[in-house]
Structures are given as structure tokens and as C-alpha cells.
Copies of this chain bind each other. A is one copy, B any other.
């Protein structure tokens, strides 16, 4: 009923708190750490000493000027302590990014994706090897050691990291994490792409410090990442957040999941382009749809307005059920936000309860389509920080 706590777990929690404070405040003075973490000075200083000994934190050479007293050196997560790799696996493309342990981007690359599992995994493997090899720091002969890999996939992933169903990749019941871990030789963390992106918004994006928010994204499907009470909420099986499969048109367009009239059959990039095609508008991507709408194309405008309206209805269900304080439109939805938001807002006004609607903030993601690979970084960072025992 209540979490069990012991002193090792507390030390770990405090260390993670210091880690994030250093990550979010580059060149932090040790005296500021207590205030930033809420930990007392003795605890902070013991943790910092241990992290320096472990090679995780370094004191910078450049002394930091103080107004009064002797100058103070600044602290930071050591770039040499390790690399993290984040990846986004989509049917058409694989995107890979490497960062320092603190989340500063070092290298990026993009490769062709595949719906053939073996091909996709081979490309991912080769791509990660190449990105890691290229991730040399200034003056470094070899790249820092790889500490973890995080991968976002458009799939239902269960709590054990098993891929249950990926309608747009055509994969099901695949133990993807052990397959990857064996191939890649480093800890691998796999999660639903939208959940990963929501974690990125929380760690690096618009939702730093926000306890309750919903992150919405639309690529091949539409997904929601739920941060509730400061934690990514996964649900009983790990499938929470499937807003893309809320029925918005009973008996409507057929969906990859086997149902009809799901939100994502009207709102995902794939379905918006398909509907445009059915109406004689061949558009390669949502950037083209946004451009056509900006030029006043009534067919594309009507499609985007309908998408906004359907999304607003589904979102009103989410608002009434979960009372989030903030909704972030991310991924490719951010590309067409200006054409989607007016009808989306009107649907929220009509269908969400007054007091819940009134205080709801709606933001367009600053990370945009980059959120998923950075979500892989967030997964890898979270995994790295939650390993019991010494960090390095």
C-alpha cells in the first residue's frame, strides 16, 4: 500500500535530485545546490564528493566569480562520464541522437526505416554504432562509454518492455528489448514513442516542473502521454494514453486497430494525407498541408478544421476524466497547429466542463518532431539513474 523506503533508496533519490539540479543548472556553484535540491549542506556535499569520485561530476577549471569572498569553482555533469543514445523507429525512417549524460546533443543521424523487423533492427544497430563512433568530445581520442540506449516506437508496449502490437509497423508480440540489448551490448530501454516524447517534454521541453500534463502527438497514429502527479502514467498493462483510438465517429473510417471511427483515422499525419488524396490533393507531408492551408485551399482547410474538431472532442473527454493543467500539442501536430487550434478550442468549449476548461493551458511543443529521439535520451537517462548500486 505504501512504498518501502530504506537508506540506500534515499541516498539514490538524493543523488538523482542532485544530478538533475546540475543538469538543469550548468556551472552550478556547490553553495546553490542545497537551495536547488532542498537537501541540507552536509548531504549535498557528501553526494557531490561521491559523484566526483565516481567521475560523474567535475569541477570546472574556470573559477566562478562571487561578489563576496573567495571565488568558487562551478560543478557540472562530466561530459567524459558517458554517452546516451536516443532513437525513434518509424516505418519510413529511423532517427538517432547521442548526448552527454546531461542530455547535451553530440551527434545525430537519420536512416531508412523498415517494416521488416530484422532489417529495421540491423539499420538501428548500424546507425547507433556509427553515431557512437562519431561522438568524440573536444580533444577526446575515443568516444565516452555508452551508458544506455532509449528507443521510442509507435507501439503498445507492456510493462515488461514487450512489444504487444505495432499496427503501423505490422509487428506484434515481439520481445524487442532483449533482441536489441543482445545486439547493442548496452542497457536498452524501449517505450511507446509518445510516452518517450512526453518524458522528453518533462525533462527538456515545455513541461519542466509541471506535475499534470498531457502530451499529444500525431505521426502514423495519434498518441497521448500522460504525466499525472509528476509521474508518467502507464496503466495496468502499460497501455495508457491511447487517445488515438477513442471513437469519434461511430461506424466511421476503418482503423489499423480493427475498429472504426477512431480519432487517428481523422487526425494522424497519415490519415490527413490520405483524406486529402481522396479529395484530389496529393500532398507529401503535413508541411505541404500547412502550406496549402496557408494558401487558402478550401479542401485542406476543411480537413484540418475537422481534424481539430475531432481532436477537441477527444481531448474534452480526457480533460473531464483527468483534469490536466496543461496539454501540449507535439510531434507533427505542431506543424498544423494554427489550422487545427480554432476548431479544437471550440470543441473544448462545447464539451469540457467549465471549471476544468477555464484553467486549461494549451501549448504547441517547442521540441516538435524531435521529441521522440530526445524521449529515447530521457528513457536512457532514467534507466541509467535508476540502476541500484554505484552509478559508474
The answer to whether the Cβ of A240 comes within 8 Å of any Cβ in the partner chain is yes
**Nearest B residue to A353, CB-CB:** B245
Contact between chains at A353 and B239 (CB < 8 Å): yes
Q: In the complex the two chains form, what is the Cα distance from A20 to B2 in whole Å?
A: 10
The answer to whether the Cβ of A241 comes within 8 Å of any Cβ in the partner chain is yes
Copies in the complex: 2
Q: In the complex the two chains form, what is the Cα distance from A313 to B313 in whole Å?
A: 14
**Which stretch of A127-135, A229-237, A364-372 is in the interface?**
A229-237
How extensive is the interface on chain A, given as a class? Answer: 35 or more
Contact between chains at A258 and B321 (CB < 8 Å): no
The answer to whether the Cβ of A316 comes within 8 Å of any Cβ in the partner chain is yes
Q: In the complex the two chains form, what is the Cα distance from A208 to B260 in whole Å?
A: 36
**B residues less than 8 Å from A238 (CB atoms):** 323
The answer to whether the Cβ of A363 comes within 8 Å of any Cβ in the partner chain is no
**B residues less than 8 Å from A359 (CB atoms):** 236-237
The answer to whether the Cβ of A374 comes within 8 Å of any Cβ in the partner chain is no
* Residue ranges of A at the interface with B (Cβ–Cβ < 8 Å): 1-5, 10, 13, 16-17, 20, 38-39, 156, 164-165, 209, 211-212, 224, 226, 228-231, 233-243, 245-247, 257-259, 313-314, 316-318, 320-326, 350-351, 353-356, 359
* Closest 9 pairs (CB-CB, A-B): A235-B323, A236-B325, A240-B323, A212-B236, A239-B323, A242-B320, A247-B351, A317-B317, A245-B353
